[in-house]
Amino acid sequence: MSSSSQPSDRQPDWSVASERQPPLRLVFYGDDFTGSTDALEVLALAGLRCALFLRVPSVAELASLGGFDAIGIAGDSRAMTPDEMRASLPSVFIAMQALAAPLLHYKVCSTFDSAPGIGSIGTVIEIARDTLGERPLPIVAGTPALQRFCVFGNLFARSGTDGQIHRIDRHPIMHAHPVTPMAEADLIRHLGKQTSLRVAGFDITQLDRPATAMNAAFDEALAAQPAALLMDTASVAHLTEVGRLLDQQAMRSGPLFCIGSSGLEYALTQWWARDARMPGAPPETRLSPASPLLVLSGSASPLSATQIDTAVQAGFADVALDAAALVSEDMAPQAVEAVVDQVTGRLRDGQSVVMHTARGPADPRIDAMIGTFVARGASRMDATHAGGRLLGQRLGQIAQRVLDGAPVQRLVLSGGDTSSQVTQVLAPDALEVKTRLSPGAPLCRFLSHKPRLDGLEVALKGGQMGGADYFVRARDGDRTA
């Protein structure tokens, strides 16, 4: 993509270039890679031409690649401290603004897990206002397609472990998240712990009003000049009205910066479809089988543990990784070498492999890894943060070497931080959605000038996404169902 890159014999399938780059409708930045592909899936399966980049492309680069309706930038700010965010995000937001899209979106997880010290959404509000101006920032919280609902500012989510809808602070997975546990369901209170700026609410009683009254209420809420305005969503109809309000506000008052889950992409595409403004038909959604499959899981969620168990029962090779050894300066080289040899051998024999650093939140490997940093004088919080980042980088090195040495047709990365770190190590140019695998965790395709990566199919999923058979279905395709 850059002028210094040397193209390979097989060029990335960027699609047929158009005579000019049509105006972008939306540019989003995902705070991790799994969340980025979630938003990309919504746009692509609605019929929009879109791609996901690892950095903000220039207008000239977009024009050379053909016409996009929307693009995303996959980031990793969900794992950043506020100081790291302030050093990284302003230039990203300015570059996004330069692409002249009417809507800019800072995409967060639909569970809104964040904390004052890590992945602070409150800090993002402050940075956006300092960088792009002090207009109120809409926050879209509900995503009914993913069974996430926001009612009077309180977030509810379905759990993949029991199939029930829980208030987010009582959610079996999210209340016990190892880095950013959700202890507060009221998102205004939750964000209030991350910023002193005022966050107001726009609740479902307003969204149930006739359009004229709803418009007036929305204008009144914005005129009160809160730093951010949290939009409720309890139904698909509510979300479509949110899309209408935001789209019309952007057209009327200039580029609008929003924060929220992929609910924003659902809101906009639903509204554009109702307004007869969708450009094309959705792509084919059939999922073909691919074997051998490589799964790399860095998630500690109970659902991920179930997915690993299901895969092993279905014939995957079970490779438990020693997380403490992988983050040890002395032990890492030998640990990486041993894993690469073991996994490469299994894949060459035609067996799919699931590698994992944890099998649920109580796995002792988590404490052992954190303990290596605490022993060096780090606090437990700093150890969790630094250890997770370094572990992800080591997993990226393993993935890179395995891909170079084994006939992998499809790669699955499980865990938000893991997906971000591994993908950055692999460094493709961009990603496109190929087809649906599970809502919020699609099957994508790498676009790259590196022959081994170009065309490689990859699925990136958060720890709370997908069914118990997610890894098996990624291998077997639609014949699993």
Query: Edge-to-edge strands of the sheet including 165-167?
Result: 148-151, 154-158, 165-167
The reported pLDDT for the residue numbered 418 is 82
The reported pLDDT for the residue numbered 22 is 61
**CA atoms of 458 and 477, how far apart (whole Å):** 13
Is the pLDDT reported for residue 17 higher than 70?
A: no
460 beta partners: 413
Burial (CB count within 10 angstroms: exposed 0-12, middle 13-18, buried 19+), residue 58: middle
The reported pLDDT for the residue numbered 263 is 96
The reported pLDDT for the residue numbered 283 is 65
Q: Are strands 148-151 and 293-297 parallel, antiparallel or unpaired?
A: unpaired
Amino acid at 125: I
Domains in the chain, please, with CATH? 26-274 (3.40.50.10840), 293-480 (3.40.980.20)
Identity of the highest mean pLDDT range in 22-36, 370-384, 398-412, 414-428: 398-412
**CA atoms of 28 and 62, how far apart (whole Å):** 15
281: CB partners within 8 A, 6+ apart: 47
First to last CA, the chain: 39
Q: What pLDDT, in 10s, does the model give residues 40-86?
A: 999 998 999 899 998 998 888 887 776 789 999 999 899 899 999 99
Secondary structure of residue 397 in the 3-state scheme: helix
Amino acid at 10: R
